[in-house]
Amino acid sequence: MDQVTVELKHKVSAKTQRFSIYRKSESQYYQNEMFRTDCKKFYNLPREKNTNVQNAPSKEEKENFWKEIFGKKFQHNIGSKTSANKIPIWKKVQYLKWMSQRY
């Protein structure tokens, strides 16, 4: 009797895995088809989902969160390797040419 229950559990597990794979592929097909036919609707799809927030933070918690982020002074490292002064001029010119051709 114990072996029968184990076999049934394995069968149920296999069926649920196959079903989840089917649902994922069906969802992917639907999204691909929507992208091909109506891109705007495809990109607005994530916005349509209604997310119900159960435990929203209070006003004081939100204010404290943003005060911690924007209240700190930040010193930029001007002499870093990624500074605009370290980029060769020919790369800047190439970038400007490329941007002018795009628009």
Domain boundaries, the chain: 1-49
**Selected residue with higher pLDDT from 101 and 30:** 30
From 33, 34, 53, select the one nearest 43 (Cα to Cα): 34
One-letter identity of residue 10: H
φ, ψ of residue 91 to 5 degrees: the values are -70, -35
Q: What letter does residue 71 receive in the DSSP assignment?
A: S
pLDDT of residue 12: 93
Instruction: Check pLDDT > 80 for residue 10.
Output: yes
Q: How confident is the model at residue 17 (pLDDT cuts 50, 70, 90)?
A: very high
pLDDT of residue 78: 60
pLDDT of residue 21: 94
pLDDT of residue 77: 63
**Selected residue with higher pLDDT from 59 and 96:** 59
25-84 pLDDT, tens digit per residue, is: 999 999 999 999 998 888 887 776 666 767 878 899 988 888 888 877 766 666 555 555
